[in-house]
Amino acid sequence: MNGFTWMYLSVVVQGIMKLAVLVVLARLLEPRDFGIVGIALIFTSCAERVGQVGVGPALVQKQQLSRDEIRTGFVLSVLSGLGIAAALWIIAPYAGEFFDAPEVPAILKALACGFIIDGFGVLPDSLLQRRLQFREIVLRDNVAYIVGIAGTGTVLAFLGAGAWALVSGHLCTKAVRLVLLLRVEPASGWIAGTLRLTHVKELLHTGFGFSLGRILNFASLQGDNVVVGRMLGVEVLGMYTRGYQLMTLPAMYIGQVLERVLFPALAQRQQDSALLRKAYCSTLEVVTLFALPTSLGMFVLAPEIVFTLFGERWVSIIPVVTILSLGVFFRTAYKCSDTLIRSLGAVYRYAALQGVYTSVIIGGSLVGGSLAGLHGVAGAVVCAVVLNYLLLTRLAASFLSLSVREIAQPHLPGTWVSLWIGLALASGVPALRGLELPPALVVVIATVFSVSIGCVALVCAPRPVRATMIPTALQHLPVERLGGFGRVAVRLFS
């Protein structure tokens, strides 16, 4: 609960900052600037999966960790960071030719330098995760983002740096984060061990499984971008990536936060089957309660969200955002199964499912793009996300010996709440539009209204669909500090 508290505090802070930066940059930069950086990020995102050969997750997943293994992990991560930076420099010219974007090679070479920085930061970050020191991680992540993307990137965009504003902000964020990590986890504590070949083999075996799964997951996340950039052009890619980013925001701020806390916690208790079953079902319930209503809200409010965040010149992506909103819940919820499977060390079975997901994403995007353009790609991506959710959930259930009924139960509270919110939005949003209110005001009113309706639905829920995690959370959180409001919350939801 302490880890979740700090991570969600980070979500609130970074969520506000990232939305603000997104709004500002969408007005200071052109769609082509985002498209050019988006192409470079296809390669750097792949390199992130390969570059550290899975050393970080392998160190976190191990139940016991010796000083020699720590030393071995440090050497491997530094060497791999240098190697991947060199590889990106070599392929940079070919990347520009493939996408017919002459600006890409220089940008890709600059971003490659970030992997050298990352190589030195893998080990201190992994050690903090193992010890569940999320307060330290959160503080350093937020400070680095403020100085990097929010500060350096925005200022350079205002000065007319174009795509280079995004690149500079990205590199500055990495550098600041490394400096802050080394202050709390100095190198003197983890470079004194001995480099042993047996530890190299063990870490690489587990790490390669993590990397393989991450590579295939990357291919699934970027496969549609490759198709759009190649078939429809850089400018269309810039628009598509903005719409896709909206779909992934809930996954980042709900699923990814849970993943960062649960992965090290579950890895340390991976032999306790009863605890794993309880943690998995509870997490799935929480994710459904938040992500499913969010998906409905984005579907109904897609025009207002686009106008509020990006402005009128991005009006053409409204249909894309509407389609992608249908995948919000599944994109967020599959993080629960993803985290559990990796915490158990079943990295190769996880990688096999990611291979299926990747194939469906790329094949579906090619077919959808040729038949219906950008809308077809978005529809294919949503279908692939749903399939991935079903496959990962099935694998997680098999590990935990959960029946279909036991898997379905955590979905019921969120489904109940979503029905209430869906009915309320279906009648309320057209009325708000009829008043010709500013789009931002429509979003705010609809959000407050939806949260209120959701709370009423939770209180009135019959026993079969009643949420169990909210009373549990209230027992472990210091709600008494909220005074009368806290006491009312406990009385209503317990």
Task: Give the tens place of pLDDT for each residue, 437-456.
Answer: 888 898 899 999 998 998 88
Query: Which parts of 233-346 fold into alpha helices (H)?
Result: 234-250, 256-268, 273-300, 302-309, 318-324, 328-343
- pLDDT, residue 490, reads 53
Region class of 193: left (phi > 0), else alpha (psi between -120 and 50), else beta: beta
Residue with the bigger pLDDT between 45 and 437: it is 437
Q: Take residue 201 and report the two structure tokens written for it.
A: 């083999």
Residue with the bigger pLDDT between 376 and 47: it is 376
**What value does the mean pLDDT take over residues 256-260?**
73
DSSP code for 262? H
Would you call 398 exposed, middle or buried from its count of C-beta atoms within 10 A (0-12, 13-18, 19+)?
Answer: exposed
Q: Which of 165-169, 223-227, 315-319 has the lowest mean pLDDT?
A: 223-227
Q: Is the pLDDT of residue 386 over 90?
A: yes
Q: Take residue 386 and report the two structure tokens written for it.
A: 């749903």
- pLDDT, residue 18, reads 76
Going 20 to 24 to 29 to 31, the CA torsion angle's sign is: positive
Q: Which residue carries 């964020």 as its tokens?
A: 173
**What value does the mean pLDDT take over residues 102-114?**
88
pLDDT interval class at 421 (50, 70, 90): very high
pLDDT interval class at 205 (50, 70, 90): low
Determine the length of the chain: 494
Q: Which residue carries 């940059």 as its tokens?
A: 25
Start-to-end Cα distance in the chain:
18
Interatomic CA distance for residues 478 and 489, integer angstroms = 12
Interatomic CA distance for residues 258 and 95, integer angstroms = 35
Q: Which of 137-146, 320-329, 448-457 has the lowest mean pLDDT?
A: 137-146
Q: Are 193 and 149 in contact (CB under 8 A)?
A: no
Q: Are 298 and 244 in contact (CB under 8 A)?
A: no
Tens digit of pLDDT for each residue in 28-44? Answer: 888 778 888 888 887 88
User: Taking the domains of the chain in order of start, what are their residue ranges?
Assistant: 1-195
Mapped onto helix, strand or coil, the DSSP state of residue 466 is coil
Query: Closest by alpha carbon to 255, among 227, 295, 297?
Result: 295
**What value does the mean pLDDT take over residues 94-119?**
85
Tens digit of pLDDT for each residue in 70-103? Answer: 777 777 788 888 888 888 899 888 888 887 778 8
Average pLDDT, whole number, for the chain?
A: 80
**What value does the mean pLDDT take over residues 307-329?**
84
Q: Is the pLDDT of residue 393 over 90?
A: yes
Tens digit of pLDDT for each residue in 466-492? Answer: 877 766 666 666 555 555 555 555 555
Q: Is the pLDDT of residue 390 over 90?
A: yes
**What value does the mean pLDDT take over residues 422-426?**
90
**What value does the mean pLDDT take over residues 249-275?**
76
Mapped onto helix, strand or coil, the DSSP state of residue 44 is helix
Mapped onto helix, strand or coil, the DSSP state of residue 102 is coil
Interatomic CA distance for residues 347 and 375, integer angstroms = 34
Query: Closest by alpha carbon to 24, among 151, 173, 167?
Result: 151
Angle at CA of residue 135, ends 132 and 136, nearest 5°: 90
pLDDT interval class at 418 (50, 70, 90): very high
- pLDDT, residue 408, reads 92
Measured from the Cβ of residue 241, the count of other Cβ atoms closer than 10 Å reads 21
